[in-house]
Structure 1
Amino acid sequence: MSVRLIVRTFSELCITVGALIILFVVYVLFWTGVKAAGATEGQIDDLQNQWAHGAVTAPAPQAPAEPPKPEPPKPTAPAAAPKAYRDGKPFAMLYIPRFGKDWEWPVLENTEVKTLQKGLGHYRGTAAAGATGNFAVAGHRRTYGDPFKDFPKLRPGDAVIVTDGTTWFTYRIDKKPYRTVPSDVGVIDPVPRKSGFDGPGRYLTLTTCEPEWGSSHRLIAWAHLDATQPVTDGKPAAFHS
């Protein structure tokens, strides 16, 4: 085999590999976002149709207007998600003003791969939105719309707002994101371990991948329920804080 043929063959291989890499990057950075946008809009439309016809996914629990005070610790077990939370279906909308005024994502029941391609996922077995326990939600850091791309920007006091169509639930972040490993499932316990919460309350946990383009670790953000109000009263002031 001549040197010229070897060089030409190697060059062709490099071009082919380069083209495949470019196609993969386009798929990851662009096409998954396009797919997610379409899927997410579909979930939002589904929710709006449900709410327009009075289909409420879960009763709105009563909550204090101020952060809950710890109660005496007692044995607790994860409460099953309400039956009205249909597997793989949307039941709430979640907003984080820190991430921008247009940031809004549907929350679906379960955290399976196909579910997280359509929006955020609610961990099965964790509390309902606004209920006593830990309302735990997962989302992609990158790909499929990059919902939690700016996760490290979360700071104490930031609002995380959830609505089930009848009630606004405003949670407040308690500390900067915490880095841990995927096997650390205690972060979504009813009283999440290492959160600093020392008794039962109404909590929210957000989880995403770490590093930004990897999944060897997880970033966790914990929040407590700060306020509730009916949707008929308009949007909470937290949208502008």
Structure 2
Amino acid sequence: PDPAPAPEAYRDGKPFAVMYIPRFGGGWDWPVLEGTKVRTLQKGLGHYSSTAALGGGGNFSVAGHRRTYGDPFKDFPKLRPGDAVVLTDGTTWFTYRIDKKPYRTVPGDVGVIDPVPRKSGFDGPGRYLTLTTCDPEWGSSHRLIAWAHLDATQPVTDGKPEALRS
């Protein structure tokens, strides 16, 4: 895919994109806000501020609750290789593809959001997406991680990407 244009700086606690995960069913769409503070994650998904911009080089990483504040990542364990994760910033559609089933780790394993995330299977620089949520379902002793790579981009003016057409 072509490189994404440089986005404006994201503003703490403010939405800048919408995420769609077809595997989770029609109508599943959540705002992505800047930051991962408690009050931010109460409103939607949160972008780890230290990670790449949407569609940019590196690792765009997003956290979401599994069983509170609307349960955005309730079905996280259902993610499978090849599943689409589609985001839009209002001008561009970004389609990422999940690379393997969710990985379970401990909260202190911060390498999962590195530019080339440790244990992801990626072997060099790229344009990646990391999704994180708590595990078990009603607890927080562990984390579930899903990694994806950027598969395609297209202007919003071209209509919805194939992954969202059904």
- Could you tell me the TM-score, scaled by structure 2's length? 0.96
| Structure 1 residues 20-59: aligned runs within 5 Å | none
Provide the rounded CA distance (Å) in 2 between the counterparts of 1:108 and 1:101.
21
Cα distance, 1:63 vs structure 2: 3.6
1:99 aligned to 2:99? no
Partner of 1:154: 79
Segments of structure 2 that go 5 or more residues without pairing to the other structure are none
Partner of 2:2: 62
1:201 aligned to which of 113, 126, 146: 126
Higher Cα radius of gyration: 1
Q: How many residues align?
A: 165
Partner of 2:151: 226
The DSSP-based 3-state class of the residue aligned with 2:56 is coil
Cα distance, 1:143 vs structure 2: 1.0
Cα distance, 1:83 vs structure 2: 5.5
The DSSP-based 3-state class of the residue aligned with 2:94 is strand
The DSSP-based 3-state class of the residue aligned with 1:85 is coil
Segments of structure 1 that go 5 or more residues without pairing to the other structure are 1-60, 65-81
Partner of 1:214: 139
4+ residue runs of structure 1 moved beyond 2 angstroms? 61-64
Provide the rounded CA distance (Å) in 1 between the counterparts of 2:123 and 2:76.
25
Question: Which of the two has greater strand per residue?
Answer: 2
C-alpha deviations, 1:178-211, integer Å up to 9, x for none? 0000000000000000000000000000000000
Instruction: Tell me, yes or no, if the aligned pair for 1:116 and 1:140 is still in contact at 8 Å.
Output: yes
Partner of 2:106: 181
C-alpha deviations, 1:46-79, integer Å up to 9, x for none? xxxxxxxxxxxxxxx9349xxxxxxxxxxxxxxx
Provide the rounded CA distance (Å) in 2 between the counterparts of 1:137 and 1:155.
18
Provide the rounded CA distance (Å) in 2 between the counterparts of 1:85 and 1:95.
20
Say what the alpha-carbon RMSD is for the aligned residues: 1.7
Counterpart amino acid of 1:182?
P
- Could you tell me the TM-score, scaled by structure 1's length? 0.66
